[in-house]
C-alpha cells in the first residue's frame, strides 16, 4: 500500500514539475524579433535544453525563471558571467546560452548537490533506516539500502527527494526523466520494492 501511495505521489509530482514535453527545435532568438511561431503552444512545464557543437541553450519556463519584468540583459549577464547571452521570450520564459564547458560545470555542481542530498538522507535523523544509496552514471538507477524493519514502519518520503534531485539533473541534461528506484534490504540484499518512471 505504501509503495502505491509513493508511486502515485511521484507520478503527480512529475506531471506538475516536468509536464508533457514536446520535442521541438529551439533556435536562437533574433534581437527585436518575436520568439517562436505564431499559434505555437508551449507544452513543456520544465526547461528545454538544446545542445549545439560549442554551446548549450536552455529555456526556463516562466514559473522557473521568476519575475523578469525589470530584466536588463547587460546587468543579468554581468551578474551571471557563466552565460554568454540571455533574453526574455514573449511568453515570459528565459532563454540563456552558455558554453558547453560551463554547462558541464553546472552539471557537475548539480551532481555534487545530489550526492549531498543523498548523504543527508543517509545521515538524517528522520531517515535512520537508510544505510546507503548507490547510483549509476546519469542517475537512471538508484538503489536505497535500508534496515527493513525501520523502513517498513516509517512513512517514507525519500523517493520524493530522490526524484526531485535526479529529475532536475536529467532535465538539465536535455534528457527525459527516467528512474528505476529500488529499496533493498541492507542485510540480505533482497529487493523490498521497486518502481519505474515512466511506468513500464
For residue 16, the tally of other CB atoms under 10 A from its CB is 9
For residue 113, tell me if it sits in a domain.
yes
For residue 65, tell me if it sits in a domain.
no
Nearest to 132 by CA among 123, 2, 114: 123
**Lowest mean pLDDT: which of 36-50, 132-146, 160-174?**
36-50
Query: What is the model's pLDDT at position 33?
Result: 38
For residue 135, tell me if it sits in a domain.
yes
State pLDDT tens for residues 78-87: 999 999 999 9
Partner residues linked to 194 by β-bridges:
182
State pLDDT tens for residues 173-191: 989 899 999 999 999 999 9
Query: What is the model's pLDDT at position 45?
Result: 63
Confidence check: pLDDT of 38 > 60: no
Mean pLDDT of the 67-82 span: 94
For residue 85, tell me if it sits in a domain.
no
For residue 77, tell me if it sits in a domain.
no
For 150, the domain range is 2-15+103-197
Q: How many domains does the chain have?
A: 1
Write the DSSP symbol of residue 146.
Answer: E
For residue 154, tell me if it sits in a domain.
yes
For residue 10, tell me if it sits in a domain.
yes
For residue 147, tell me if it sits in a domain.
yes
Amino acid at each position: 500500500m505504501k509503495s502505491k501511495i509513493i508511486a502515485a505521489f511521484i507520478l503527480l509530482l512529475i506531471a506538475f514539475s516536468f509536464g508533457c514535453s514536446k520535442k521541438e527545435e529551439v533556435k536562437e532568438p533574433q534581437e527585436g524579433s518575436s520568439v517562436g511561431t505564431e499559434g505555437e503552444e508551449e507544452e513543456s512545464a520544465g526547461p528545454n535544453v538544446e545542445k549545439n557543437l560549442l554551446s548549450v541553450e536552455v529555456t526556463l519556463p516562466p514559473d522557473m525563471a521568476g519575475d523578469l519584468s525589470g530584466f536588463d540583459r547587460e546587468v543579468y549577464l554581468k551578474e551571471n558571467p557563466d552565460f554568454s547571452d540571455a533574453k526574455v521570450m514573449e511568453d515570459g520564459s528565459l532563454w540563456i546560452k552558455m558554453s558547453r564547458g560551463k554547462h558541464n560545470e553546472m552539471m557537475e555542481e548539480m551532481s555534487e548537490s545530489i550526492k549531498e542530498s543523498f548523504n543527508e538522507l543517509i545521515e538524517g535523523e528522520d531517515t535512520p533506516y537508510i544505510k546507503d544509496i548507490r547510483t549509476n552514471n546519469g542517475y537512471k538507477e538508484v538503489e536505497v539500502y535500508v534496515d527493513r524493519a525501520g523502513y517498513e514502519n516509517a512513512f517514507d518520503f525519500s523517493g520524493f527527494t530522490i526524484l526531485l534531485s535526479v529529475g532536475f539533473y536529467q532535465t538539465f541534461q536535455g534528457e527525459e526523466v527516467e528512474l528505476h528506484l529500488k529499496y533493498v534490504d541492507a542485510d540480505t540484499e533482497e529487493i523490498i520494492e521497486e518502481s519505474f518512471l515512466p511506468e513500464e
